[in-house]
Amino acid sequence: AHLWQGIIREYADLLPEHLTTHIVTLGEGGTPLVPAPALSALTGAEVFLKVEGMNPTGSFKDRGMTTAISAAKHKGAKVVVCASTGNTSASAAAYAVAAGMRCAVLVPDGKIAMGKLSQAIAHGATLLQVDGNFDDCLVAARKLAEAYPVELVNSVNPDRIQGQKTASFEIVDVLGDAPDIHALPVGNAGNITAYWKGYTEYAAAGISTRLPQMWGFQAAGSAPIVAGHPITEPETIATAIRIGNPASWEQAIEARDTSGGVIEAVTDEEILAAHRILSAEAGVFVEPASAAGVAGILSRARRGLVPAGARIVVTVTGHGLKDPQWALRTLDGSDVVPQRVTADIMSIAAALELV
Ligand code: F0G
């Protein structure tokens, strides 16, 4: 049996050497590529989910964090900093522990999910809640890293993209070639940049024979790339992608246009509906932002824009336990209250309508 070694050791020959000298890993990557017959039926395509919630801290950020922190270690860094809507901070905090470094995180006040906040604190990060949104946090983190001896581990750091590109490698390794379409949520636009880089490199190396169309989906209240201008007050219940001025904007456009893909907006209602379908019909529990890619393919299917039989991989980016409250609310906004029974088999059987 092969014991998975983390993405740096698994793909060392496809990564820059400075990432391989001081490897800091928690065993990230090697995540499941799950066939989703329910989504195939709804779209007329062949849909697979790349379940990134199965990474050590529960999101895809771990792929980029093993590389960013390993590079920081290579340089002898003692302190790392990031701006975050939550997942990056959880990941940076965990990998900083593994590396023996200090971690500082800047998060938008009151706008990150409880699970992610708990992770950063549990891992001993210094967490500062900033009176501003993610974009303000990122500006501050970049300035801090310029002025002081701290490493910036946001996806503007190219070492992050190097790690995250390995998700594409894994998909091709499992499917035998690239899919027709790759769909995913877009926030700061690092991940769409990374996937495109991965697919392009595998094709250039002759490991795959084709490139997928890249389909990115932003939340409608936070869709600067779709609007064509920054959004100064981004809003969405999908707090992970509540971003108005993505750092990798140009790279996302490049991935979209070179691949013949699209970047579109999905509403919060569409995101929550997709979240529900993922949980109740595919068996995969994700956080709301992670459902944006699925919301996107369902929206395009309704408009007749999903080619019949196309092979589609959708990345679901983070685990449902990060932000579980959404499961306990119905689509019309009322709370779900579990039914109470007494501890006897008759009332339980009656509640289950077995009698
Ligand atoms: N999905 C989840 C669950 C995320 O946490 C993020 C980004 C994205 C999608 C979008 O990815 O930014 O590469 O386009 N979260 C960042 C963070 C911003 O701070 O955790 P992207």
Q: List C-alpha distances in Å: 268 to 114, 230, 236, 304.
A: 19, 19, 6, 21
- Whether the predicted pLDDT of 1 surpasses 80: no
Name which of 6, 12, 31 is nearest 170 in CA terms. Answer: 31
Name which of 321, 315, 327, 223 is nearest 275 in CA terms. Answer: 327
Tell me, what amino acid is at 245? N
- Model confidence pLDDT, tens digit, residues 26-51: 999 999 999 999 999 999 999 999 99
The domain 61-159 is placed in CATH, from the list 3.30.499.10, 3.40.50.300, 3.40.50.1100, 3.10.20.600, at 3.40.50.1100
Cβ atoms of 56 and 62 within 8 Å: the answer is yes
Report pLDDT for 75: 96
Tell me, what amino acid is at 111? K
Equal fold, 7-57+160-328 vs 61-159: yes
Query: Cα of 127 to ligand 1 centre, how many Å?
Result: 18
ipTM of the complex: 0.99
Q: Is 290 in the pocket of ligand 1 (CB under 6 A)?
A: yes
Enclosing H/E stretch for 294: helix 292-302
- Model confidence pLDDT, tens digit, residues 225-249: 999 999 999 999 999 999 999 999 9
Q: Is 108 in the pocket of ligand 1 (CB under 6 A)?
A: no
Cβ atoms of 244 and 224 within 8 Å: the answer is yes
Pairing relation of β-strands 213-219 and 151-152? unpaired
Q: Is 163 in the pocket of ligand 1 (CB under 6 A)?
A: no
Distance of alpha carbon 302 from alpha carbon 293, whole angstroms: 14
Q: Is 90 in the pocket of ligand 1 (CB under 6 A)?
A: no
Query: Cα of 240 to ligand 1 centre, how many Å?
Result: 5
CATH 1.10.1040.10 matches 7-57+160-328: no
Q: Where are the domains of the chain?
A: 7-57+160-328, 61-159
Please choose from 95, 111, 162, 317 the residue to mutate so as to test ligand 1's pocket, defined by most ligand atoms within 8 A of CB.
317
Phi and psi angles of residue 213, each rounded to the nearest 5 degrees, phi first: -70, 135
Cβ neighbors of 227 (< 8 A, separation 6 or more) are none
Q: Is 190 in the pocket of ligand 1 (CB under 6 A)?
A: yes
- Model confidence pLDDT, tens digit, residues 128-171: 999 999 999 999 999 999 999 999 999 999 999 999 999 999 99
